Chains A and B, each alone.
Chain A
Amino acid sequence: MKYLSEYRDASIARPLIDRIRRTASRPWTLMEVCGGQTHTIVRQGLDELLEGAIEMIHGPGCPVCVTPLEQIDKALILAARPDVIFTSFGDMLRVPGSDCDLQQVRSRGGNVRVVYSPLDALELARRQPDREVVFFAVGFETTAPANAMAVWRARELGVSNFSVLVSHVTVPPAISAIMESPDNRVQGFLAAGHVCTVMGWTEYEPLAERYRVPIVVTGFEPLDILEGMLMAVQQLESGRHVVENQYVRSVRREGTPPARLRVEDVFELADRKWRGIGEIPMSGLRLRDEFAAFDAERKFGLGDLHVNEPAECHAGEVLTGKLKPPLCPAFGARCTPEHPLGALMVSTEGACAAYYHLARYRGPAEAATAGAVS
């Protein structure tokens, strides 16, 4: 594969890799938070190039992957209603719910539409006042400002047939949960560059201090990731544990204040379940009471659903770094991007899909070896 080989031989990448190897006096275990970073690491084989110096545990930063099963099932219920036009980002359509996915609901006559932006869903509601338009508001802090503004704008314009099914999660509580897990092995984090473009990094400073763990705000391109790894290893070797910013061309300490403030106007913190991981206290966002009229769960009276994850899917172990995807018994056989058992096999940001595509490029045996590196 052209792109892979280019980076493996890249003259800029090589000195960085050598420097990381020279700096690391022992193997260190780092976690990249963002699914975009996972995609780059697996696709470029960065983890293999650094075998023995750094082990990367792939973090839970793929919004498609961590949206809990009950929220997917609620989406399926809403999408099947004849009075509803259900709108969503494209990558949620193939995430398996308990019985089916949104694409299957669409093929059975459900009105499911892909939108690029929540503002497209709002516009659709304005054009079709006789239908209920519901938008599936998922994601991390990168999509929260967009979803917050859509709700804000709906209220401003008095669009009463627009509502959102919210399943927002935030990164810092996930870092706490990982560090407090009794079997945690993570010694340093590469924080998600685009999340921090919005939020800045002040929330991470107390985490670095409390858990004595280096956190490096990092971009998603191969050289960004290598530089972020080097910065984290330098901290670990010198016994420091602070927040540093590798992604200076995009991220400032205070983030993007107007976006952050609009998120606070519309959303408040709430407990949230993460698919494969379980509930993390105060790790999600829900609409404030003053925006209850735009909350699809309240509007359509969707109560708590009791759901069971398929036993064959080991997403929880993958998300917590206990299992590399190619070592899952279902990987590539019962579970493929065409027929996924779990969300990690759906999104291009999901760890299982990233390894699956790697196997396609290099052959399953080699990918399995890559997965076994620990």
Chain B
Amino acid sequence: MCLGIPGRIVELRDDGGFPMGVVDFGGVRREVCLSYVQGDARLGDYVIVHVGFAISKVDEAEARRTFEVLREMSQLDELDWIGEVAAASAAVQTAATSGGAVS
């Protein structure tokens, strides 16, 4: 969980004054908090993301290289968690719409 994953900012938005964005990690996308790189990160920039928070900016070449190294080191478990979370949220939403009990 300590190794940050590099990704590209593909969407910026403001969640009631809370700077959020969508970051693309080699095709897997998720919401990321941009609070700690606020004023520095723009659309298309590459950032290192730790557990949902962009901590620093990097250039594109560095981001691509690091991503490949992490993939080869099998250190991208966190992307699997993103998958598990997405599946769980979908289940919650389905249960909510169908009026079923959410566990």
Contact = CB atoms under 8 A, between A and B. Distances in A.
A118 interface: yes
A220 interface: yes
B74 to A, nearest CB: 7
A39 B58 CA distance: 23
Contacts of A198: 50, 55
Contacts of B50: 142-143, 145-146, 194, 198
A16 to B, nearest CB: 16
B3 A90 contact: no
A119 to B, nearest CB: 5
A145 B85 contact: no
B72 interface: yes
A111 interface: yes
Interface in A201-238: 220-221
A24 interface: no
A131 to B, nearest CB: 8
A114 B86 CA distance: 10
B55 A117 contact: no
B4 A146 contact: no
Contacts of B48: 194, 197, 250
Interface residues of A, number: 49
B37 to A, nearest CB: 8
B12 interface: no
B74 A348 contact: yes
B92 interface: yes
Contact of A115 (B31, B56, B66, B81): B81
A256 B82 contact: no
Contacts of B66: 221
Interface in B18-39: 18, 30-31, 33, 35-38
Interface of A: 3, 34-36, 39-40, 43, 61, 63-64, 89-91, 111, 113-120, 124, 127-128, 138-140, 142-143, 145-146, 149, 153, 192, 194-195, 197-198, 220-221, 249-250, 256, 258-259, 262, 348-349
18 contacts: A89-B81, A90-B80, A90-B84, A113-B88, A115-B85, A116-B78, A117-B33, A117-B53, A120-B85, A143-B1, A143-B51, A145-B50, A194-B3, A197-B48, A249-B58, A256-B36, A259-B55, A348-B77
**List of 4 A-B pairs having minimum Cβ-Cβ separation, nearest first:** A117-B52, A259-B36, A116-B81, A146-B53
